[in-house]
């Protein structure tokens, strides 16, 4: 079975931000890092070339595929930031409706700037996501 491409690296989070983020994005990323570190009690680590992750969990899919991933993380994707969170369940969906200007993929929460979001709702989403990942995978 192929190895996962996204694994923790020794790369510098600060160098990643300096090379990819606009001035506004750097400020937003610093605020995001403080929030994610507060929730996970884990330091920021680069996962692959472009994901800033916090914590780690090990998963096994029904197919038998296993791997590791950050409990929560974010990345710079052009003019948008993306936070990787689990938003299943009625409580998480209710929070999304109150979050502010964003779009949602399966686990990708996209937004242009933190100023568009309710920070307390974002924190609750992250807390719920981390709790769900820990419930599922220990």
Beta bridge partners of 72: 54
Q: Which residues contact 33 (CB under 8 A, 6 or more apart)?
A: 13, 44, 52
Q: What is the pTM assigned to this prediction?
A: 0.93
Q: Is residue 89 part of a domain?
A: yes
Instruction: Give, in order, the Cα–Cα distances in Å from 138 to each of 32, 34, 37.
Output: 24, 24, 19
Per-residue pLDDT of the chain (138 residues; tens, 9 = 90+): 456 767 899 899 999 999 999 999 999 999 999 999 999 999 999 999 999 999 999 988 888 888 999 999 999 999 999 999 999 999 999 999 999 999 999 999 999 999 999 999 999 999 999 999 999 988
CATH number of the domain that residue 99 is part of: 3.90.1150.200
DSSP tag of 116: G
Q: Is residue 37 part of a domain?
A: yes
Q: Is residue 27 part of a domain?
A: yes
Q: Is residue 6 part of a domain?
A: no
| Overall domain count for the chain | 1
């Amino acid at each position: 079975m192929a190895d996962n491409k996204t694994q923790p690296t020794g790369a510098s989070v600060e160098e990643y931000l300096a090379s990819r983020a606009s001035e506004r994005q750097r400020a937003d990323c610093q605020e995001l890092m403080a929030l994610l570190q507060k929730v996970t009690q884990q330091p920021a680590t680069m996962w692959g070339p472009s994901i800033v992750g916090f914590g780690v969990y090990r998963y096994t899919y029904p197919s038998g595929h296993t791997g590791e991933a950050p409990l929560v993380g974010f990345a710079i994707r052009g003019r948008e930031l993306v936070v990787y969170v689990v938003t299943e369940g009625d409580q998480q969906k209710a929070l999304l409706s109150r979050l502010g200007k964003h779009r949602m993929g399966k686990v990708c929460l996209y937004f242009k700037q933190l100023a568009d979001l309710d920070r307390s709702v974002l924190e609750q989403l992250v807390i719920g996501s981390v709790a769900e990942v820990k419930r599922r995978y220990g």
